Amino acid sequence: MVTLLVSPGCSSSRRAKEWLEEHGIKFKERNMFVERLSIYELKRIIQKTETGIDEIISKRSVSFRVVKNDYNALSLRDIIKKMSKNPEMIRSPILFDNKRLIVGFSEDQIRCFTPRKERTLFLRNAISALNS
């Protein structure tokens, strides 16, 4: 099952939710501000990233700007603690299952959560359209 981590008022979070619903993909939605992520959960998410913590940290957040000057000097443990206490430091949406993780909303990337048969059909139709 797909987990969808959202922030309130985030248009990308809304679009991701709508896309999953439109495509009949079962998911569990979790508002990170209401039900904050534990340090353990953040570590598990970071393990699934390709580029590490920089992939999920929101460098535009007010909380990040407060620690910006000390960011490179902080330990990974300290940064994760700050993210756990300040969910606005976490980019949204974050979608993941046992194998995959995507941050933000991209219709091309989110397709990885559709069943293989549907992805194959989509690609065949796209190729047919190009060849027509």
Residue 93 preceded by cis peptide, ω within 30: yes
The arrangement of strands across the sheet holding 2-6 comes to 27-31, 2-6, 94-96, 101-103
Pick the CATH number of 2-131 from 3.90.1150.10, 3.40.30.10, 2.60.40.1120, 3.30.1330.10: 3.40.30.10
Say what the pTM is. Answer: 0.84
Give pLDDT tens digits along the chain (132 positions).
999 999 999 999 999 999 999 998 999 999 999 999 999 999 999 999 999 999 999 998 988 888 877 888 889 999 999 999 999 999 999 999 999 999 999 998 998 898 777 767 777 777 888 887
- Break the chain into its structural domains and give their ranges: 2-131
Asked whether 96 and 48 are in contact (CB, 8 A), the reply is yes
The catalytic position among 2, 4, 10, 42 is 10
**Rg of the Cα trace of the chain?**
17
β-bridge partners, 6: 31
Active site (annotated) includes residue 112: no
